[in-house]
């Protein structure tokens, strides 16, 4: 298996950037043209779903996201991209049936995709392009706690939309990590509105989460479920490493 370097155009023409996280996390830029190898590794169901999108850019982004997830999974675990079989839990979260220990998460916004893989934690990721949001205050009333709304800037003030989106991506990543998506009401738990790393308590579970702002105005959040007695509760972000061939071989046995 070949590790993905920090900036790599070798994944069949895709621009892949590895981000700092305690698991494998990449940003992928959606190209104008997709290499046929990326398309070839999609399942028949994924091809059908891509064809249902109303616009070509959305179909292309979907195909890139799912193709890249498969190719990166192959690099990590040695399971051939075209032979990976995914099942979904009751809330739609994908699980790699070939290797149930592996966990993955996807998110996309604009022409960017986040893809993540982990071996030892349930994980979730979310991505949003920083932008004006006409109904941000109304969304905050629906999805944020009273304390969160109090800590946000005044609606209409400079920075309000960005602060709301930073809070939103953290909430999204956290519920994705728990595998229930919006089956958990975002207003039912409280997050830190500031960027950086924090521990979020959600319905008896602990979720470590981090929010950062990439240089081209992308807000990125990652989250992973942790246990109370684990030493990793110091939640310091670290660069993920790829397993050796021996580890990957053991996982396939």
Structure confidence by residue, pLDDT tens digits, 128-151: 999 999 899 999 999 999 999 999
Beta strands in 179-248, from DSSP E residues, in sequence order: 196-202, 205-214, 218-226
- pLDDT on residue 130: 92
Average pLDDT of 2-16?
69
**Tokens at 14, concatenated:** 């895709």
Residue 95 burial (CB < 10 Å; 0-12/13-18/19+)? middle
Which residues on adjacent β-strands are paired with residue 25?
116
Structural element, H or E, at residue 54 = none
Instruction: Report pLDDT digits (tens) over 153-184.
Output: 999 898 999 999 999 999 999 999 999 877 88
d(CA 211, CA 196): 5
**Tokens at 49, concatenated:** 């779903």
- pLDDT on residue 239: 33
- In angstroms, how far is the first alpha carbon of the chain from the final one? 17
Average pLDDT of 92-117?
94
- pLDDT on residue 11: 83
Place of tokens 């959600």: 202
Which residues on adjacent β-strands are paired with residue 250?
none
**Tokens at 104, concatenated:** 């993955």
Average pLDDT of 9-28?
90
Residue 101 burial (CB < 10 Å; 0-12/13-18/19+)? exposed
Higher pLDDT, 47 or 5: 47
Instruction: Report pLDDT digits (tens) over 20-46.
Output: 999 999 999 999 999 999 999 999 999
Place of tokens 């070798």: 10
- DSSP annotation of 158 reads T
**Cα–Cα separations (whole angstroms), residue 234 to 23, 69, 171, 249:** 15, 29, 20, 31
In contact, 217 and 130? CB cutoff 8 Å:
yes
Query: What pTM did the predictor assign?
Result: 0.86
- pLDDT on residue 246: 33
3-state secondary structure of 19: coil
Instruction: Report pLDDT digits (tens) over 203-251.
Output: 889 999 999 998 888 999 999 999 865 444 444 333 333 333 333 332 3
Helices (H), 78-145: 136-143
- pLDDT on residue 15: 92
d(CA 203, CA 208): 14
């Amino acid at each position: 298996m070949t590790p993905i370097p920090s900036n790599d155009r070798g994944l069949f023409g895709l621009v892949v950037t590895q981000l700092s996280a305690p698991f494998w996390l990449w940003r992928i830029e959606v190209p104008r043209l997709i290499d046929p190898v990326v398309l070839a590794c999609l399942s028949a169901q994924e091809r059908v779903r891509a064809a249902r999108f109303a616009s070509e850019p959305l179909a292309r982004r979907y195909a890139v996201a799912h193709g890249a997830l498969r190719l990166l999974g192959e690099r990590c675990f040695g399971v051939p991209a075209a032979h990976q079989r995914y099942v979904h839990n009751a809330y739609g979260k994908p699980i790699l049936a070939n290797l149930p220990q592996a966990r993955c998460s996807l998110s996309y916004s604009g022409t960017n995709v986040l893809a993540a893989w982990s071996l030892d934690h349930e994980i979730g990721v979310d991505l949003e392009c920083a932008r004006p949001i006409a109904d941000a205050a109304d969304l905050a009333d629906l999805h944020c706690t009273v304390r969160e709304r109090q800590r946000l800037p005044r609606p209409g003030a400079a920075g309000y939309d960005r602060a709301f989106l930073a809070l939103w991506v953290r909430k999204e990543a956290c519920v994705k990590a728990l595998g229930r998506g919006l089956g958990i009401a975002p207003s039912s738990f409280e997050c830190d509105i500031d960027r950086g790393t924090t521990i979020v308590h959600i319905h008896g579970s602990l979720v470590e989460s981090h929010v950062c702002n990439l240089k081209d105005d992308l807000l990125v959040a990652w989250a992973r479920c942790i246990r109370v007695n684990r030493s990793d509760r110091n939640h310091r972000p670290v660069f993920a490493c790829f397993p050796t061939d021996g580890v990957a071989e053991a996982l396939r046995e």
